Chains A and B, each alone.
Chain A
Amino acid sequence: MRKELPLIITLIGGLLAMVGKWTVWGDHIKLLTYTDQFDTLVGVMAMMVGAINLTRIHGLNVQRRRSGYAFSIVLLVAMWAYFVLGVIEGYQGKNFRWIYNNLYRNMDATMFSMLCFYIASAAYRAFRIRTREATVLLIAAALVMLGKAPLGETIWAKFGDASNWIMRIPNTASMRGIAIGAYLGGFVTALRILLGIERAHLGGMGGSVQ
């Protein structure tokens, strides 16, 4: 039953969503409203599991004085203190917003902006014209970069046109191909999960039943 029950739940859940979305009757009784509420509950529970798990892992780090445990203290204090403040004040509260605007926002932006340095270093190391494909990729990347930078257009106005052409024509064509492939793959995977052929999401070793 440990294997069968999740499969039955998956099948019922999938069928409910299909009936709710695709049939007049499902639309009439607003079936999706009920599944939406259940979805919300599951999402909130998953978030709680995440918070508890994070507390357990970092709590153990602190308890056993593992390397870098000071960072675990910072994480736990920041997470729970901000959570408690949010519960007391609400996310529109004055102090809650002050912390958000003056600490969190800047730290998040800083973390992301550091990518600029890593990308510069990674591009320098990875962009080698080893093959014909790599050469095409490099030329396309260089044209788009030059076209998107006003300095490139100042040097030669046609860089902008070349960049726009790459984005509008070859990029669009390839993205459509990728998207169609990905959506077909997603549809097939969803169907396999619904029919119980694909079981990797239930854990264990077996990926699928042929």
Chain B
Amino acid sequence: MWEKLQNIDRRWIYLLMAIVIMIPILKPMGLPIKTSEETQTVYDAIGALKSGDVLWIGGDYGPSSAPELSPMAVGLVTQAFKKNLKVVVYCMWQDGAQLMQTILEDAGKKYNKTEGTDWVNLGWKPESVIVLRNLTDNIANAAKTDFHGKAIDSIPLMQQVKALDPKYVAFAFDLSTGSPGTSDYLKYIYEAKKIPISVGVTAVSAPGAMPYVRAGQYKGILNGMRGAAEYELLNKIPGPAVKGMDAQSLGHFMILILVILGNIGYLMSRKG
């Protein structure tokens, strides 16, 4: 019997997991979500910017991590548009350019913000890390065109934002799945240009980013779906991340129960 407890057929595990995750997605439980200090720091840092300031967003992720990072992007753009900030997006991941464009277009419609005047998506460029470094000197030379292939010089907002430099950009936020991503913003934007930065990462990347948060190099952090849900609630736009937290809760519990069962089986069979 104890042996059996250690070797549950994986197909049962998959089935149980699917059921446990699907139920709260179909019928959300609405569990309370407490805001962490790190998320509050991000919200306050962006909230402290003045109307007309430029918020730079790095969309360095793809569809695989979109459930965690896209809600953060929606929250960022919402907070920025509500505060009348100007938004410039640059993506070191090719997929990020498409995802961010859709998010910006939707939020632009909702908050009556115009592409080119209130926000610009520079899109993705080959050898994106090198381009990021060169953006700190001159955006028009480094990026040349925006997402649509329109010349940077002809875009009204970009005539005011000449470089990724503290003179033009008040705050930078990188949404990142891995590399290229947060470490490049740390090196080239925070350390070299002294622009305050913050990051939103997948839960699996958060432990690696925490030392920089504790050192004050990142102004807070949005940590995985939990961070995204907290940020959605702070912006008063509960959405997919808040819904996902119920599923994540039950999923975590399911894994813990399985681990406990496996260990009971292991300990009892050793005694026997």
| Residues in chain A within 8 A of chain B (CB atoms) | 32-33, 36, 39-40, 43-44, 90-92, 97, 100-101, 104-106, 108-109, 111-113, 116-117, 119-121, 123-125, 127-130, 138, 142, 145-146, 148-154, 160, 164, 167-168, 171-172, 175-176, 179
Contacts and interface: CB of A to CB of B under 8 A. Distances in A.
Nearest to A36: B130
Contacts of A172: 210-211, 214
B124 to A, nearest CB: 8
A173 to B, nearest CB: 8
Contacts of A125: 262
Contacts, number: 150
Contacts of B266: 128-130
Contact of B127 (A39, A117, A149, A150): A39
Interface of B: 8, 10, 13-14, 17-18, 21, 31-34, 36-37, 62-67, 94-95, 97-99, 101-102, 123-124, 126-127, 130, 133-134, 147-149, 203, 206-208, 210-211, 214, 223-224, 226, 245-246, 248-256, 258-259, 261-263, 266-267
Nearest to A166: B207
Contact of A146 (B64, B252, B259, B262): B252
B220 to A, nearest CB: 12
A123 B31 CA distance: 25
Contacts of B255: 119-120, 123-124, 145
Nearest to A154: B31
A105 B258 contact: no
B249 A151 contact: yes
Given A123-B259, A175-B208, 13 more contacts: A92-B123, A104-B63, A105-B98, A108-B95, A109-B63, A109-B64, A111-B64, A119-B255, A120-B251, A121-B14, A124-B259, A128-B263, A151-B252
